[in-house]
Structures are given as structure tokens and as C-alpha cells.
Amino acid sequence: MNNVKLLAACLLFPVFAGTLAAAPKFDWEAQKDIHPGIKVIKRKYDRPRLMRIVVMRIDLQTPGLRFVTTGRDVNWGKSMPNHPKIKIATKRVTTAEFMLRANREKKSKDRLMIVAFNASPWEPWEKPFTHKYGTPLGLNISNGTIVSDNHPELPAFVVWKNGEVGILQTVDRRKTRRIREAVSGFCMIALNGKVLPDAGYSKQLMPRMAYGMSRDRRYLYVIAIDGRQKKWSLGATGSETGKILLEAGAWNAINMDGGGSATLCVWDEARKRPVMLNRQTANGYQRPVGSNVGIMLDRSGVR
């Protein structure tokens, strides 16, 4: 089966539909790559409530993979319109647009963004929610350049300049020069193989976006859980999300910006466009967000 057919197949939910407590193990070896190093499993749970999830496993040892994150806007550092006390850091775009722009602007035919997902929460987050710009919360670094640095208590997903990848409870600001990419989340939801109790943001029943890392740091897991959609999916708590990630193979997990921001996209090379693997809303609306992560593949390195 070629990658085009595999991608089409992964857009369909599998036969499994049951309870979260009695869910079968994640059999990653039975799954075929939809892109080199990328596998996807979709599930539907009926209990403890209706819940649809998408879990992606990324093999970080795949030749040619490289992470990229949202960089500074050209107006970086200027006062934000209608919010003069907040400085512009990034321009809000949908995750799909982030991917589409990357693939339109690529300098090499062999370099392609194959996966994209939303990342850090941002400010301002207040009505009418239509602000053009955003300032991501926590530490955000793009290609070695600091995009934002606030709320030092927030955990982060980090890619070091030496190629190592990790999820950190806190980031030592004395070591930021060694970081190539970083995005921060709301909170840790699993640590050292154990699910953490819900507190604050993780208590809410809502759509979720979270990342997990295997103990040996070979695999990154990305989960998108749909929510707030009757007869489709009602969402999850942070601890439920952490539990699923541990079952998928993670050791540590971080809760990123969820709600209507939760988006997981893959690139459809046949149609030359991004395809969403989760359903953000019933009407197809996609929210522009202040922070995204993309995975580039240098296809010349995998031939």
C-alpha cells in the first residue's frame, strides 16, 4: 500500500469502539508509516463518555526529520493593536496555513513539512478573540531565536542544537543558547511514567492537545482529542489524556494549548495540501493560533 492510500485510510476511524479503561494496547508495529517515521492510530471511546482521539507516533531516529516552530513576526516587539501593554511576538495563523506556507516557500523540492500541530497558549485571549497577533506563553524559541520568554514556571517541549529532544518540567534559562526550538505548555500531565492528578486547566473537560516522550527519547507522541461536540466527542481531562499517552508509550507528557486550538495535520502530497486528522469543530472552522510546530522531512535523506 503506498503512502497516498495509507493517508486516506488513516482518515477513517478504526473498528475499535469501547471504554477507555478496557482499550486494547497501542500496537504500533502493526501500523504502517503514513510518512517516513510517522504512524497514526485513531480511536473512539464510548465510556466514560463519547471521545474520539488521534495519536501520532514520531520516530525521532528517522533520517531527515527536523522540527520547526513559529518564528517572530516582522512587527516583533511593537505594541499590539488595542493592547499597547502587550508586545507583538507572532502572527496568528491556522496550523494548516502554517504547513501550507512552509511547503510553498520551501527552497528545496526534497524538503517537505509532513506534520504540523498547534503548540503554546498565547495572549491576549479575550473577546472578540480575533486579534491578528499573539504572544505565546512560556519559553518559545524558533531556529535559535527567542520569540517569547515569560512565565518561567511553565514546562516546555525542547529541541536542542545538538539534535536531542525532550520534555522539561522547567527550563533553565541559563541554557537557552543551546536550544534550537522550544514551545511551552500549560502543565505536565504525566511524569516519570505516572499520571499526574488534575489541577487547574487539566480539570476541565475539553478538547486536548498534548505531547508525550518515550523513556528512551526515541519517540514523540502527539495526541489530539476532540471535544465540545455532541454525538461526536465530548473531550477529556488532563489526567485522562496523560493516561492515554502513557498507554501509547510515553514516559513524560505535557498538556499544550487545547480547546478550539487543538489541531493535528498531515501533508497530502497527492493533493498538495494539509489534511486535518482531528475535527476541531463540526462546521470545519479552524482557529488561527499563536504557536505551531512542524516536522520537516528532507526526502533526499531517506532514499
- Cell matching residue 69: 516552530
Nearest to 51 by CA among 249, 261, 208: 208
Range with lowest mean pLDDT among 15-24, 196-205, 216-225: 15-24
pLDDT digits (tens, 9 = 90+) for 91-119: 999 999 999 999 998 777 789 999 999 99
Nearest to 55 by CA among 197, 230, 246, 217: 246
Region 193-203: mean pLDDT is 93
Q: What confidence score (pLDDT) does residue 19 get? A: 80
DSSP bridge pairs for 165:
159
Put the strands of the sheet holding 38-47 in their side by side order. 17-19, 38-47, 51-59, 219-225, 208-213, 252-255, 187-191, 194-195
Put the strands of the sheet holding 122-123 in their side by side order. 90-91, 133-136, 122-123
Nearest to 245 by CA among 226, 225, 267, 265: 225
Nearest to 185 by CA among 217, 138, 134, 230: 138
Q: What confidence score (pLDDT) does residue 299 get? A: 78
Say what the pTM is. 0.94
Residue 144 backbone class (left: φ over 0; alpha: ψ -120 to 50; beta: rest): left
Instruction: List the domain range (segments joined by +) for residue 147.
Output: 3-301
Parallel, antiparallel or unpaired: strands 252-255 and 273-276: unpaired
One-letter amino acid of 54: V
| Number of domains observed in the structure of the chain | 1
Q: Report which secondary-structure segment, H or E, holds 213.
A: strand 208-213
Region 83-95: mean pLDDT is 96
Nearest to 223 by CA among 192, 190, 198: 190
Report which listed range, 20-34, 195-209, 242-256, is most confident.
242-256
Q: What confidence score (pLDDT) does residue 13 get? A: 44
Q: What confidence score (pLDDT) does residue 17 get? A: 65
Q: How confident is the model at residue 224 (pLDDT cuts 50, 70, 90)?
A: very high
| Percent of the chain residues past pLDDT 70, beyond the cut | 93
